[in-house]
Amino acid sequence: MRHLRKRYYDAFAGYYDRFVAFHSRDARDGLRSFLSGRVPVQEGDFVLDICTGTGTLLGFLRQKVGPTGLVVGLDFSPGMLKVCKMKVGKHADIALLQSDAARLPFKDNCFSALTCSHAFYELKGKTQQQMLREAARVLKPGKPLFIMEHDLPENPLIRMLLYIRLLSMGTRQAVTTLRHEKEVLQKHFAHVEKVTTPGRRSKIMVCRN
C-alpha cells in the first residue's frame, strides 16, 4: 500500500510545483517564504523539512542557517526527491534523504527546528502519530515544529470539497485531524499555537515542548 502511495507521488512530482502555483494561487512561493520567515533559527543551526517534496522550503531555510548550518529535506518519494535535487542544486549545506516520516533516522535532540508543509494531512494511518512522536524526539528541548496546512474554508461548499479531496486520497483520519487538530498535536507537544497565513487560506500550527 505504501509502495502504491510512493508511486502516486512519483508520478505527480513533475507537475507538483505548477499544481501548487495554480491551486494555492501562489506562483511566487509566498506561503513557503512566510513559513520560513517564522522559523527562529540562527547561523549554524540544523533544520529538518519533513515531506519536503520538491524542496521549495529548503532554499529559504538555507539562507537562514548559512554555510555553517545544515538543512535536511526528507521524503519517501524518489520522484519528488529527483525534482528537488534538480531544483535546489548541489550545496554542502543541503542534504536530501529518502526516508519515511514515521521513522526519522536521526539521534534525539539534534534539530533546532522542523517544518512540514502541506503534507501532514496526507500522512496515512498511524503515520501521523508516529511522525509527531518522532518529531518531538529529534527536536532539541523547547524548539518548534511548524506544520503548515490548508485552513478549514468558511464557505461550506469549499469546505466540503476539501473533505472530499482528503477522503479521495484515502486519508479518512485527516478529516478527524482537521476537526480536532489541537488535541491531536497536544498528545505529543505541550504547547500548540495557531498562526494564520496572509490570505487566510492556510495556517501554521507551531508545536513545542
Ligand X SMILES: C[S@@+](CC[C@H](N)C(=O)[O-])C[C@H]1O[C@@H](n2cnc3c(N)ncnc32)[C@H](O)[C@@H]1O
Residue 146 lies near ligand X (rule: CB under 6 A)? no
Do 143 and 194 touch, CB atoms closer than 8 A?
no
Task: Choose, by CB under 6 A, the member of 26, 29, 45, 75 that binds ligand X.
Answer: 75
Task: Choose, by CB under 6 A, the member of 51, 61, 83, 178 that binds ligand X.
Answer: 51
Q: What is the DSSP letter of 105?
A: -
Cα within 13 Å of Cα(34), Cβ side: 19
Subset of residues 78 to 97 that bind ligand X, contact rule: CB under 6 A: 80
Residue, CB closest to ligand X: 53
Task: Choose, by CB under 6 A, the member of 62, 64, 118, 143 that binds ligand X.
Answer: 118
- Cβ atoms within 10 Å, residue 187: 10
Task: Choose, by CB under 6 A, the member of 122, 134, 149, 181 that binds ligand X.
Answer: 122
Q: Which residues lie closer than 8 Å to 124 by C-beta, 6 or more apart?
A: 1, 2, 5, 170, 171
Residues engaged in binding ligand X (CB under 6 A): 9, 20, 51-53, 56, 75-77, 80, 100-102, 117-119, 122-123, 127
